[in-house]
Structures are given as structure tokens and as C-alpha cells.
Amino acid sequence: MIIDFRVVPPFTEYEAEEEAKRTFLEGYMAVYGDTYGNDMHTLNVTIESLLNDMDEAGIDYAVMQGEWELGDCAKMNDAVFRLAHQYPDKFPVYFLGLDAGRNKNMPRVIEYEVKERGFSGVNIQSWSTRLPITHRAWGPVYAKCQELNIPITVHTSINFTIDRPIGLGRPLHISEVAAEFPDLIIVANHGGWPWVNEMVGVAWKHRNVYVEIGAQSPRYIAKPGTGWEPLITFGNSVIQDKILFATDAMLPPQRVVRELMEMPLKDSVKDKWLGLNAQKLIARIKK
């Protein structure tokens, strides 16, 4: 069982392709673009290539997530909804994105999307909205998600913009939210680098905090000196039930699955990371 816990809809499904690529490279992921430019896998993903890559990698299904990305969160959520219903076997679980500046009554938006359109979680990109996840404006969102028994996923890592602070993605912020909303399921996207020690501590401390490793190369996670060593050590032991495999549609799925299988983990732990942990978590929110 392999479950990709986070993919996002291809640009071409919700935005004019060339304009989307320009915005992505010049703003959203400007510094990442300085490094990789047009070679970024995500720039050339189509829904057809995504489905084909999933099949070739042996991925059973994926969780498709909307996010505040290129200026119109609602447009991206509509694309997520449409693709999930067009390919229900491949995207049986899907999350909506929220724009705190545009969605004036976020709990009402969540209630509608969950009950009327079948969304099963909420994705928060605090660096995009420039609103830390500890800001009081998010409180009603957490309360509503806790009430509905749906998870939030939170960008927890470096961001590659040039005009927003890196600290918006620190794992310690999650600890504050988890302490106030102990029954809220929180998934930390991208593994928390460069604060991996913090990420491990937060996941170990809080029962409902999970760590997703999307957009990260397992080969580099396993490489000494990259700062990922705590995740390997504790992810092979005390938090082995809390790690979730994902690609974020940023890296070729075949490569990511192959590299994860080569990581210095127990075989039983690899199975958990690749899909068993996600399967159990999804079962919790589907009750």
C-alpha cells in the first residue's frame, strides 16, 4: 500500500499555464526557481502525467490538497473538487485551501465545503497569507475542524519567497496550536526542515501531530549532514507511526518511492511511512 498524502492540482487545471509558471518562478518559489529554474518537475505536470506517474510508481491513491497559491484559492479548490470527482479512485480524499484575507467567515466556508462538496481536511499556508498559525484569526478554523474531526495540514518548513520571513514555518508554532486544541489532527507538511529537531519533538509530544515529508528527496533525508538525522533516528522508533509519505507533485513519484525504499529504515517502518500510517489516519477522519 502506497499513499501519496499530498499532491496539488497541476497549474493547467486552474490557471493559464505561462502566467502560472511566471508567477511561480518570480514570486511564489522565487529562490527555489533561482536554483532549479525550468527544470522543476512541478512546472510540467499535467493531470495525465500525474496519473501515469502514480501508476508507474505503484501509488494506490493520493490526497489532493488545495492551497492559496497563485492568487485565487477558490479557483484552486474548484479544481481539486473537479479532479477528485473525475478520478475518484485516485483522489478519494481531498482537502481545501483557505485564504484568510478573502474568506471572511472561514468556519462557514469549511462547513459548506465538507458537508456539501465532500472535502475531508483543510490546508493552511501561513507563509502565503503572512498570518502565523498562532494568530487568533485561525482559532475558529481549528475549533471547526476539531468539531468536524477533519485534519489541518500546515506548511512546516522553509519557504522560498523573497519577501516573507522563514519563521512562519517553524514547528514550534504547531505545538502552541496542539496544546490549545488537543483533539485537532495536525499534519506538518514538508517535514519541518531546517528545524527537524523541533519537528520530532512536537510530533512526539502531541498525540495528534503527524509529519509529512512531501517535496523532499528521501535520498537527501538519509544523507548525513543535511540536518534530517533526527527524523531518521526517531522516525525509525518512537514516531514511526506518525510519518506520512508525499511527493507534493514537486518530485517524480517513481524516484521518491525508490529512494524511500533505499533509506536506512526497518522494512516494517518503510511500509508505515509509505502508506500504512496514512491509511490509518484517513480511516480516522472517514468515520
Report whether pLDDT(261) > 70: yes
Angle of CA points 170, 200, 107, to nearest 5°: 55
Q: Answer whether residue 21 is part of any domain.
A: no
Q: What are phi and psi of 207, to 5 degrees?
A: -60, -30
> What average pLDDT does the segment 140-145 reach?
96
DSSP class of residue 89 equals T
Asked if pLDDT for residue 37 goes beyond 60, the answer is no
Within-domain flag for 34: no
What value does the mean pLDDT take over residues 226-253?
96
Report the pLDDT value the prediction gives residue 234, as an integer from 0 to 100. 98
26: which 3 cell numbers? 518570480
CATH of the domain at 191: 3.20.20.140
Within 10 angstroms of residue 224's Cβ, the number of other Cβ atoms is 8
Residues with Cβ within 8 Å of residue 258, at least 6 apart in sequence: none
Among the listed ranges 85-99, 119-133, 256-270, which one has the minimum average pLDDT value?
A: 119-133
In the predicted structure, residue 72 carries a pLDDT above the cut 80 = no
19 compared with 275, residue with greater pLDDT: 275
**Spatial separation of the C-alpha atoms in residues 15 and 61, rounded to whole Å:** 24
- What is residue 286's predicted lDDT score, i.e. its pLDDT? 76
With 0-12 / 13-18 / 19 or more C-beta atoms within 10 angstroms meaning exposed / middle / buried, residue 126 is: buried
What's the pLDDT score for residue 70?
59
d(CA 95, CA 69): 14
Residue 36 lies in a domain: no
CA atoms within 13 A on the CB side of 155: 25
Contact 147, 155 (CB under 8 A): no
Number of domains comprising the chain? 1
pLDDT tier at 160 (50, 70, 90 boundaries)?
A: confident
User: Which pLDDT does position 264 carry in this prediction?
Assistant: 97
pLDDT tens, position by position, 168-184: 999 999 999 999 999 99
Q: In this structure, is residue 168 part of a structural domain?
A: yes
Q: Does residue 17 belong to any structural domain of this protein?
A: no
Residue 101: inside a domain: yes
Residue 259 CB partners (closer than 8 Å, separation 6+): 217, 218, 219, 222
**47 in a domain, yes or no?**
no
Upper half-sphere CA count for residue 265 (Cβ side, 13 Å): 32
Average pLDDT value for residue range 216-231: 97
- The confidence score (pLDDT) of residue 57 equals 97
Asked if the model's pLDDT at residue 3 lies above 80, the reply is yes
List, for residues 45-68, the tens digit of each pLDDT value.
Answer: 899 999 999 999 999 999 999 986
pLDDT mean over 175-196 = 98
Asked if residue 104 has pLDDT above 90, the reply is no
Q: Which domain holds residue 197?
A: 3-9+56-285
> Quick check: is 32 in a domain?
no
For 222, other C-beta atoms within 10 Å of its C-beta total: 18
